[in-house]
Structure 1
Amino acid sequence: MDSYTVAQLGRHFGRIGARLKVEQIENTGGRRRGGMEPFTLDVSESGRGSRHESYILRVRPEIYPALDLAVLDVQPKLRHLLLMARPLEGVADVAERSRYLCGHDERHWFVAAVKSGQNAATGVQEAMESLKPTGVSRRQHQLRVPARHWNRRKNAAFQRQGEWFFLPSRVFPPEFLILRDEAVRRSDDGKPHFVEYLYRDGGEEVYVCPQRPQGLTFPQYQKLIADRSEARGWGWQAMRRNMQVYARGKIRHADHATITLDGWHRVLMSGEVLSNRVAFLD
């Protein structure tokens, strides 16, 4: 990247009301096999509220001259833009295109990795739709929700709080299985959403620890501790993965307005692509 490209990127972010800082630094804050990510995109807080937030693009010095970033679409009214990193010839670390949706949601700026490759989003609206779980998009069309209402946090198909979607559902859980004021989160380092009434159903048992946050099935767990004896002391917990989760009542989160669900709703997470290059989300 040269100074002209950096200035251009800054102007695009400025059009949605955001600030962008670019740093050349060896420690980009995102880890991958073999070392640090070539670059990361982060949201940095210097105070409370979005006025004190900035986007920070951290790039390894050896990657910086060749890094090719392009803004595919800017929507100032929505306060969103779609950013793409083009593949770098001869650089294995950046061998494929990657796309990031940057924008403002309710109280804070965010960055979310979106699907690349075939049928990848080329505009903000497509990117926003790609982040919705399959069930949400299908329900929008079944109920014929007008396209102008798709980005609302509440419409006929769903309610949304951050990256969590809530779809009305006809379930009648047994009273003794209903949990009160339960915390749910996307990952261990994410801020929790507190659910007034919550019910979980199904899923598979997995073993989770800080070194294996996505969890291992029992055969995988047995194989790991057989191969690596030190893994026994990693502080494992038995949990359930891919359960169906239902919520009712008030949903609270530090960064979002409280919403109230009248009746049981199926809880679905956004379809965000997990990426080590997104150093801060939520």
Structure 2
Amino acid sequence: MDDSNLIAKFEKLGARATIRPLIENRWRLAPGPIVIDIGHDRRGEFFDIQATEDADVTVIDVQPRERHLLLMVRQSAERANDPVRKDKFLCGHDERHWFVAGVPETAPVSNVITAKESLKPELVRDRESGKKGKRTKRLRRKTDTFVRQGEWFFLPAGNVRVNEKLLLRNEPISRGLGSKPHVCEFLYRDGGTTVYVCGRHPSGLDTQEYRKLLKKNPQASKWNWRVMRRDPVVFVRGKVSHPDHATLRLDGWHRVAMNTENQSRAMAAVAFLD
């Protein structure tokens, strides 16, 4: 890997990047030859890249004006006749901060624009299907189809019948894995699976797993659990706030959809959580 060339690519975005040897962490084993995080020091944020000496890392596309680049990491196949593994990462700036996101491997991604498109949830792509206009306009944070805050997309839902008894106020939504939640002033969930969430189980346990844990360890009942729902249809209105993003103000109900980065294999190599 050409460290100086890689650092120069990030500098084109106005970003700093450091490259250091990959550190083995017994709590989180590296899934490949590279781990990417957003570090902080006195000068601000920077891309903190840990990589093995033989890591095969290539910058496919750089868009200085948009402050984004697309990174690809090649790995040899684990078994003979298997294709070479290619993991892609979108690195860039969103509103106030730098970020890195794994790109789904199933998407045909060759540049920054197609990487951004691949991160859109299926619900958004379905609504955009057949619409005319420049693709770049569809990548803005606010379009006629959605409003985006970080990894969350909010789509106007028209008339939604809400059971007022189930209406939640100042309710967090999170993609799990320890990410900081986005807080919604008014939220309504329909359907989904009940899960129990706490600091030790940020992605949640279903009812059977939760009961099994309490039977094995009764003290676990004191772990400040929250009852939430996994994969429900979610609607929000009013303010949506997050410390790293400008507050949204949604008039009327909007359906919520998360981007597709959790579907990517590359996400396992991303230490950054917004």
**TM-score, with structure 2 as normaliser:** 0.85
- Counterpart in 2 of 1:135? 123
The 1:136–1:14 alpha-carbon spacing in structure 2 relative to 1, beyond 3 Å, is same
SS of the residue 2:194 aligns to = strand
Structure 1 runs (4+) greater than 6 angstroms displaced = 223-226
1:178 aligns with 2:167: yes
User: Could you tell me which of 109, 112, 123 is aligned with 1:121?
Assistant: 109
Work out which of the residue numbers 204, 222, 237 in structure 1 matches 2:193.
204
Aligned counterparts of 1:111 and 1:19: Cα–Cα separation in 2: 13
Report the CA distance shift for 1:196/1:212 in structure 2 as closer, same or farther (over 3 A): closer
How many aligned positions are there? 264
Q: Is contact 1:203–1:243 with CA below 8 Å preserved after alignment? A: yes
Contact 2:113-2:136 at 8 Å conserved across structures: no
Q: How does 1:62-77 map to 2 (within 5 A)?
A: 64-77=52-65
Question: How large is the Cα RMSD of the aligned pairs?
Answer: 2.7
Alignment pair present for 1:108 and 2:111:
no
Aligned-partner SS, 1:173: coil
Secondary structure of the 1:187 match is coil
Counterpart position of 2:68? 80
Segment drifting more, 241-250 vs 133-142? 133-142
User: How far did 1:128 drift?
Assistant: 0.3
**DSSP-derived class of the 2:272 partner:** coil
Q: 3-state DSSP class of the match of 2:7?
A: helix
Give percent identity, aligned residues only: 43
Name the residue aligned to 1:279.
271
Aligned to 1:9: 6
- Flag structure 2 segments of 5+ consecutive residues without an equivalent: none
Report whether the alignment pairs 1:23 with 2:20: yes
Q: Tell me how far 1:243 sits from its aligned partner.
A: 1.1
Counterparts of 1:39-58 in structure 2, within 5 Å, are 39-46=34-41, 52-58=44-50
CA contact (8 A) 2:31 2:269 kept: no
| Shift in CA distance, 84/55, structure 1 to aligned 2, threshold 3 Å | same
Distance 2:237 2:170 in 1: 10
Corresponding position of 1:148:
136
- The C-alpha deviation readout for 1:213-262, integer Å capped at 9, x for no partner, is 43344445566778xx3587374654321111111112121111112111
* Whole-angstrom CA distance in 2 between matches of 1:98 and 1:7: 21
- Structure 2 counterpart of 1:169: 157
